[in-house]
Amino acid sequence: MATTQSTTGHLTGYKRVSTKAQDAQLQADALAEAGCSKVFEDKLSGKNTERPGLLAALDYMREGDTLCVWKLDRLGRSTKDVLTIAEELHSKGIALRILTGTLAGSYSPKGEGKFFFTMMVAFAELERDMIVERTRAGLEAAKAQGRTGGRPTVITDDLLTVARARKAKGESVSAIAEALGVSRATLYRHLAD
């Protein structure tokens, strides 16, 4: 099981959001409240193999320090990835502290604790996969009802009629797109329909 470890070193935070458009403020607040002296950040998917913020945090930390994350899925998205990071931390004498979620507490990968941690990481990965599957099912249901996501098109029926007429007169797609104020790719896509 997750065990509480007393730490004498620094508490270092790591926060991650999957896209640049997402905000990590909730994680930042939780890490500050936990007492992290330094926080590293990545703004990219956990599936990316290269995470410069995490690598910098691991390089910065020393034996006796604790890496603190808001939730387990912020550390990594796959069982193998999280376990590899946890094992590396442990081999360096660095504790892992998870602030919220199923594994809230500190982690020490020994005996029963290692088995428990492996199972919980697997459940977290399963939960993520279920969320992805529910999202796909919801999108498919919406599509079947005639609703689609994404940005609304900038090409109206009137604009498309004008574009087709100009194209029939021999005008280039680039010139038509510029005149109508749309991108060439958008115009090509609609002309192909």
Nearest Cα neighbor of 182 from 166, 168, 169 is 166
pLDDT of 107 = 73
pLDDT of 114 = 66
38-43 and 11-17 as β-strands: parallel, antiparallel, unpaired?
parallel
Q: Which residues are catalytic?
A: 18
With a CB cutoff of 8 Å and minimum separation 6, the contacts of 81 are: 46, 75
Do residues 107 and 98 lie in contact, with contact meaning Cβ atoms separated by under 8 Å? yes
Provide the sign of the torsion angle of the four alpha carbons 97, 32, 59, 125, taken in this order. positive
Within a 13 Å sphere around the CA of 138, how many CA atoms are in the beta-carbon half? Answer: 7
Q: Which pair of structure tokens corresponds to residue 38?
A: 């330094």
Whole-angstrom distance, CA of residue 98 vs CA of residue 124 = 13
Task: Please give the distance of CA 141 from its chain centroid, rounded to a whole number.
Answer: 25
The per-residue pLDDT for range 162-190, each reduced to its tens digit, is 999 999 999 999 999 999 889 999 889 88
pLDDT of 117 = 65
DSSP 45-77: -TT-S--HHHHHHHHH--TT-EEEESSHHHH-S
Task: Please give the distance of CA 37 from its chain centroid, rounded to a whole number.
Answer: 24
Q: Scanning the structure block, which residue is given the tokens 């002309």?
A: 191
pLDDT of 54 = 92
CATH number of 11-127: 3.40.50.1390
pLDDT of 72 = 84
Taking 70 as the pLDDT cut, the residues of the chain under it are: 1-8, 45-49, 108-114, 116-117, 120-121
Tell me the domain boundaries of the chain: 11-127, 157-192
- Amino acid, single-letter form, for residue 157: D
38-43 and 66-69 as β-strands: parallel, antiparallel, unpaired?
unpaired
Question: 47 exposed, middle or buried (CB, 10 Å; 0-12, 13-18, 19+)?
Answer: exposed
pTM above 0.75?
A: no
Q: Which pair of structure tokens corresponds to residue 66?
A: 């604790």
pLDDT of 6 = 46
